[in-house]
């Protein structure tokens, strides 16, 4: 059992660090820098690959977190309602919300943007007004869902970091 818990804790924390670190790096450093080069410049980023890597990181974090919650604390109400349990539980809920937002909004939107970008490039000439409008709509959706996802994942990290001292 001890070895299983060690593997789950390692997976949970390393994948969580990768996920939240990537989200913060994108939101605070890469995207503001890329946007300075002009509207639509995000298309230069390998969006489909970034969303795949962050999707895998978030899935590993949530699955290992749920297993730890179950194996270590057995979903016991006495623990859940204690100050430490409340900290971990609120952190878990924020982490699950960030994961669902990534799986159902940010991930599919960045895949659609990558496909539309490839379609525009393959067509050769200037993009049609419909394509430009669709790209603008997708960019706005991606910006808002990735902002919320980053906020929720950072809240999850902060709560997980302090929960044991509550």
**What is the spatial distance between Cα 89 and Cα 52, in angstroms, rounded to a whole number?**
27
Of all residues in the shown chain, the one whose CB is closest to ligand HEM is: 65
| Closest distance of CB 138 from ligand HEM, Å | 25
Complex with ligand HEM: residue 73 or 132, whichever CB lies closer = 73
| Cβ-Cβ contacts under 8 Å for 70 (sequence gap 6 or more) | none
Two tokens, residue 64: 């290992």
Q: Note whether 151 binds ligand HEM by CB under 6 A.
A: no
Q: Is the dihedral of CA 138, 144, 146, 152 positive or negative?
A: negative
Q: Note whether 26 binds ligand HEM by CB under 6 A.
A: no
Q: Note whether 54 binds ligand HEM by CB under 6 A.
A: no
Q: Scanning residues 61 to 80, which ones bind ligand HEM (CB under 6 A)?
A: 61-62, 65-66, 68-69, 72
Closest CA to 42 of 54, 52, 53, 30: 30
DSSP label at residue 106:
I
Interface residues with ligand HEM (CB under 6 A)? 9, 12-13, 16, 19-20, 61-62, 65-66, 68-69, 72, 88, 91-92, 95-96, 153, 156-157, 160-161, 164
């Amino acid at each position: 059992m001890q070895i299983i818990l060690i593997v789950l804790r390692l997976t949970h924390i390393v994948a969580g660090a990768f996920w939240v670190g990537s989200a913060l790096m994108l939101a605070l450093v890469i995207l503001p820098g890329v946007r300075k080069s002009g509207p639509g410049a995000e298309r230069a980023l390998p969006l489909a690959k970034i969303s795949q890597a962050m999707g895998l990181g978030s899935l590993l974090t949530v699955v290992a977190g749920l297993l730890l919650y179950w194996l270590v604390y057995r979903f016991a109400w006495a623990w859940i309602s204690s100050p430490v349990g409340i900290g971990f539980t609120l952190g878990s809920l924020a982490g699950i919300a960030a994961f669902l937002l990534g799986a159902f909004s940010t991930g599919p939107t960045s895949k659609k943007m990558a496909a539309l970008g490839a379609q525009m490039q393959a067509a050769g000439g200037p993009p049609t007004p419909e394509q430009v409008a669709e790209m603008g709509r997708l960019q706005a959706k991606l910006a808002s869902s990735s902002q919320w996802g980053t906020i929720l994942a950072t809240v999850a990290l902060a709560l997980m970091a302090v929960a044991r001292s509550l």
